[in-house]
A = this chain, B = another copy of it.
Amino acid sequence: MVSGYANRLLYVDLTKGKIKKLRLAKSLIKQYIGGKGFGARLLYDLLPPHIDPLGPTNLLMFFTGPLTATGAPATARSIVITKSPKTGTFLDSNSGGFWGCWMKMAGYDGIIITGRAPKLSYIYINDGSVEIRDAEHLKGFGVYATIDSLVKDVGDKDAKVAAIGPAGENLVKLAAVMNDYHHAHARGGPGAVMGSKRLKAIVVSADTSNPKFEIADPDGFKEFNRDFIKEVVMGPSQEWARTDGTPIIVRASNNVGVLPTRNFQQGVFEDVDKIDAETLRKYRTSKGACYRCTIACRNITKIKDEKWGEITLDGPEYETIGLGGSNTGLGDFKAIIAWNSLVDDLGMDTISLGNVIGYAMEAYERGLLTKEDTGGLELKFGNADAQMELSKMIAKREGIGDVLAEGVREFALWLGGDAYKFAIETKGLEYPAYDPRGSIGMALAYATSDRGACHMRAWPIAEEAFGDMDPFTPEGKAELVIRMQNFNAVKWSMVFCDFLDINYEKMAEYLKLVTGMEYTPKDLETVGERIYNLTRLFNVREGFSRKDDYIPYRIAHEPIPTGPNKGFAVSPEKFQKMLDEYYKLRGWNKDGVPRKKKLRELRLGRDIKKVSIPGASY
């Protein structure tokens, strides 16, 4: 038994209707810590290669980390792990809220789900007891109604729910696993995997006064945690998060010309003052927090409007504003709140969805889509009604929504001709809200992210446009991206929130106090590197290589027309130079495959053979 962990995993086979409780292995803990690390190791070991991500054999796993529910700040998180139906890659997708903490307090560091239920079902975890229950009556329900209904059904008003909406049921590849209404495991389509398993929700009741894990040094932890909160969390580096949270980035991004505008046609939005943090404050009724988080970054907003009705939202975040606001040309904060609320209820990723809608709008304005194609929608930039309607069509897979539900890459290639040239994605995952034409390191970060274009693996813009590094030169960016990727791999294994200002030293101290295990900062960095190499191996096994580490045509060939970065594009030459350097520093070959030497160094030697699918070695 290792302190800090419940030391148990739940294994649910929905095909057989069987539930097992498994002991967590110490070697797994030591080498992978938790969260993303657990998932990287277990998905690699347990998932057959080349399977259909929406078939019954895909695994859907949820994990927490050693600090979850301990009272450490910014740790109220859970990680979903699966093979992404959107990209075909390894996927980890994390979310705040309460649900993950409940799972751990109920006695489970994670849940591994396999198979497919014969009919729509939900899993009910009530501390030690676990059941698979009928959810047919929730078919087609939105996320909000699903949560409300299930909390009543189980008769525990404090129960926490992770659920899918209609998008997940309809296997929409933008579908999220939502929890606690507005928190989303959003990227890469985990909601579609949950839908393919006919699993509507996982409900957890936990005796929060008696959490099923111990802390190695409770007094030491208390003291260290109190000091850390006082010095760091309440300190100046976290002020942005404590006050306005991520929406503060809207204006910052616009200032440096990287705010995606009208499907990345521009990096500056003329209506930025209608969607920035100042505007948000007008609609904010209070601040909110995930379970026991002292940062409390959440903005609770409210609108009451003839058009949109009365809406209370925990949001919107920067990414939602960037993709569902400027990127769709929508300078209307109330409409953004209404859209965010709708999309959370439908259960989709606002980043990918905003990107897809922005793309569709550009295609419409270029005449590649007609009113007939869109079922009558006037799909112009800034048309809030069309944005709402199209979101519903995508969630329901109606008309053109059925193809858009596959994501921007597949839709663009389906349109044919040159339409793909303005699809902004890597590996099939839509770009988030930082245009690399104002921070070239982001191009490398998106290209080498293990789950497709993502800013949560490395965020070099912090040192580029938002920092002191030259944002237009490839110099030093490979090293920076690698450092950040390794660090974040540890962060998502601990599991910390992105917004916490922490370093390896403090992490090691937390780990020592909570688990009793000793890590040096260097040890932790190695764990991060191990995880990032393992997720790469997963992708290599699935057929990914250098050819998949690309940047979109627009980013490479269309200089940004306005703003501070006017005239700049990420030239293929500069990009390839960064990529070459990245592979070299990573110890990967020119095709992006980890070299044996590197794998042995990371104790991944035994995985070398496994890169081939079974049978391949004969």
* A→B interface (CB under 8 Å): 15-16, 46, 48-52, 54-57, 85, 88, 114-116, 118, 173, 372-373, 398-400, 402-403, 406, 409-411, 413-414, 416, 420, 426, 428, 542-544, 547-548, 550-553, 555-557, 572, 575, 611-618
Contact = CB atoms under 8 A, between A and B. Distances in A.
A176 B618 CA distance: 30
A386 B503 CA distance: 60
A255 B420 CA distance: 57
B15 A403 contact: yes
A48 B618 contact: no
22 contacts: A16-B373, A48-B414, A52-B410, A54-B54, A56-B403, A57-B413, A114-B414, A115-B403, A118-B398, A420-B614, A426-B615, A543-B543, A543-B544, A547-B616, A548-B613, A550-B612, A550-B615, A550-B618, A552-B618, A556-B618, A572-B617, A575-B618
Contact of A614 (B56, B413, B572): B413
Contacts of A56: 402-403, 406, 414
B547 A420 contact: no
Contacts of A88: 50
Contact of A547 (B52, B556, B613): B613
B410 A57 contact: yes
B118 A414 contact: no
A116 B552 contact: no
Contact of A615 (B50, B52, B55, B420): B420
A570 to B, nearest CB: 8
B85 A52 contact: yes
Nearest to A614: B420
Nearest to A48: B413
A547 B56 CA distance: 25
Nearest to A618: B556
Nearest to A403: B56
Contacts of A409: 48, 50
Contacts of A49: 413
Contact of A552 (B16, B428, B555, B615): B615
B551 A615 contact: yes
Nearest to A555: B618
A549 to B, nearest CB: 8
Given A56-B406, A548-B613, 20 more contacts: A48-B409, A48-B410, A48-B414, A50-B88, A50-B409, A52-B54, A52-B173, A52-B406, A54-B54, A55-B406, A57-B403, A116-B402, A118-B398, A118-B399, A413-B614, A420-B614, A543-B543, A547-B611, A550-B613, A553-B618
Given A402-B15, A420-B614, A428 B551 contact: no
Contact of A548 (B116, B547, B616): B616
Contacts of A544: 543
A618 B572 contact: yes
Nearest to A117: B402
User: Closest 6 CB pairs between A and B?
Assistant: A543-B543, A48-B413, A556-B618, A550-B615, A547-B616, A57-B414
Nearest to A427: B50
A412 to B, nearest CB: 8
A46 B33 CA distance: 46
A1 to B, nearest CB: 26
A118 B375 CA distance: 13
Contacts of A551: 615, 618
Contacts of A414: 48, 56-57, 114
Contacts of A572: 617-618
A85 B551 CA distance: 28
Contacts of A616: 547-548, 550
Interface hub of A416, A428, A555, A614 (most chain B Cβ within 10 A) = A614
A37 to B, nearest CB: 22
Contacts of A413: 48-49, 51, 57, 614
A411 B114 CA distance: 12
**Which of A85, A372, A373, A413 gathers the greatest number of chain B CB atoms within 10 Å?**
A413
A87 to B, nearest CB: 9
Contacts of A542: 543
A488 to B, nearest CB: 24
